[in-house]
């Protein structure tokens, strides 16, 4: 079911030509900075993978992948990727990337089950990245250090936008705030997870919520995570559970939090078995990706995705992701959006 937020008095700060110029400048500049900060080399990524190999991302486990038969493979089924979380780790192994270095790529996906709106489209474009790490780095402090490096690239990019378009004033704080999802629950015990995200993002401007997928003290999860890429069940030295999280900023146009990145330290053999069991998905141990991981053929890694259109939407102060990317929208939404000052591509 689609849902449209119509900010009162919204007027785009940039025309269509300026918007396209801004999109290109942001994408070029940010990916160069991301590559430098994390020591990543660019690689070519697939748009689709074979079904049944465990390579595609299951997201929350309920979204259906777009599937089609391949004539020259006896109608074997291929799936449009949801993301490249597991493909990247296979690539690290195949390319023999050393510890402290990694890869990034342009990931283009189709998510046909998305609820369309200001932030969600059928078309997903993001920078997917993955970096080899050592066993001594599997801790919260290393996760935070990587987050700070990514956030530094975000702050620099926002200043670039201001240099191009002085009418767009920087709003990101210089430092990002960290909080665990359990501490966030205790801070706002009567709020829903989305309300908690809005409250903390508005208070700090930019926040990284640790522990996405682990069960909280109220018996619920802050949000769902598949069991076979992020490690959300390992207990850290400080007693907190989870080595992953989401990066959110406060969007003053929509007056709500905006998730720009999801990332985490990936499962090792022990965490994979534990999380598959917790999710009643132990049959996945027989799939190609999972076998290679359990056989010790894949490096320890940290990785994530950063939404390209969302990042541009935030920097250019747009109210709808359709002002950044070309996609399909309900005609009623197009008409309502245009009446509210949002011109969907």
DSSP string, 283-329: GGGGSHHHHHHHTT-S--EEEEEEEHHHHHHHHTT-S-GGGTS----
Helix (H, G, I), strand (E, B) or coil at 210: strand
| Angle ∠(98,101,106) on CA atoms, nearest 5 | 125
Q: Which residues of 226-243 are buried (b: 16+ CB within 10 A; e: fewer)?
A: bbbbbbbbbebeeebbbb
Tokens standing for residue 330: 């309900």
Which residues are 126's β-sheet partners?
107, 307
Tokens standing for residue 202: 């508005």
Would you give the distance in Å from CA 107 to the centre of its chain? 11
DSSP string, 69-92: EEGGGTTEEEEE-S--HHHHHHHH
* Strand locations in 170-274 (E): 177-180, 206-210, 244-251, 256-265
Q: Edge to edge, what strands does the sheet with 244-251 contain?
A: 40-42, 102-110, 123-132, 301-307, 256-265, 244-251, 206-210, 177-180
Tokens standing for residue 80: 């449009």
The catalytic residues are: 57, 111, 126, 246, 259, 262
């Amino acid at each position: 079911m689609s849902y449209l937020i119509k900010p009162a008095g919204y007027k785009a700060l940039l025309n269509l030509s300026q918007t396209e110029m801004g999109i290109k400048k942001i994408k070029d500049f940010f990916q160069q900075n991301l590559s430098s900060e994390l020591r990543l080399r660019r690689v070519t990524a697939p748009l689709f993978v074979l079904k049944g190999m465990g390579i595609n991302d299951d997201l929350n486990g309920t979204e259906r992948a777009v599937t089609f038969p391949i004539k020259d493979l006896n109608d074997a089924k291929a799936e449009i990727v949801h993301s490249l979380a597991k493909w990247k780790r296979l690539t690290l192994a195949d390319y023999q990337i050393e510890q402290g270095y990694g890869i990034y790529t342009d990931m283009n996906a189709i998510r046909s089950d998305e609820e369309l709106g200001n932030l969600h489209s059928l078309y997903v474009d993001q920078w997917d990245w993955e970096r080899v790490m050592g066993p001594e780095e599997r801790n919260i402090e290393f996760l935070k250090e990587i987050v700070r490096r990514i956030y530094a690239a975000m702050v620099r990019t926002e200043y670039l936008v201001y240099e191009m378009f002085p009418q767009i004033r920087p709003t990101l704080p210089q430092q990002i705030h960290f909080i665990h999802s359990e501490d966030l629950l205790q801070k706002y015990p009567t709020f829903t997870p989305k309300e908690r995200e809005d409250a903390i993002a508005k208070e700090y401007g930019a926040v990284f919520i640790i522990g996405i997928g682990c069960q909280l003290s109220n018996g619920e999860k802050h949000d769902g995570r598949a069991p076979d890429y992020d490690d959300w069940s390992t207990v850290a030295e400080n007693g907190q559970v989870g080595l992953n999280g989401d990066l959110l900023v406060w969007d003053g146009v929509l007056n709500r939090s905006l998730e720009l990145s999801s990332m985490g330290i990936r499962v090792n053999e022990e965490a994979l078995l534990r999380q598959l069991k917790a999710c009643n998905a132990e049959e996945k141990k027989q799939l190609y990706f999972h076998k290679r991981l359990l056989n010790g053929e894949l490096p320890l890694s940290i990785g994530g995705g950063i939404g390209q259109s969302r990042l541009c939407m935030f920097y250019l102060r747009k109210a709808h992701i359709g002002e950044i990317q070309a996609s399909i929208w309900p005609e009623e939404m197009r008409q309502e959006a245009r009446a509210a000052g949002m011109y969907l591509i």
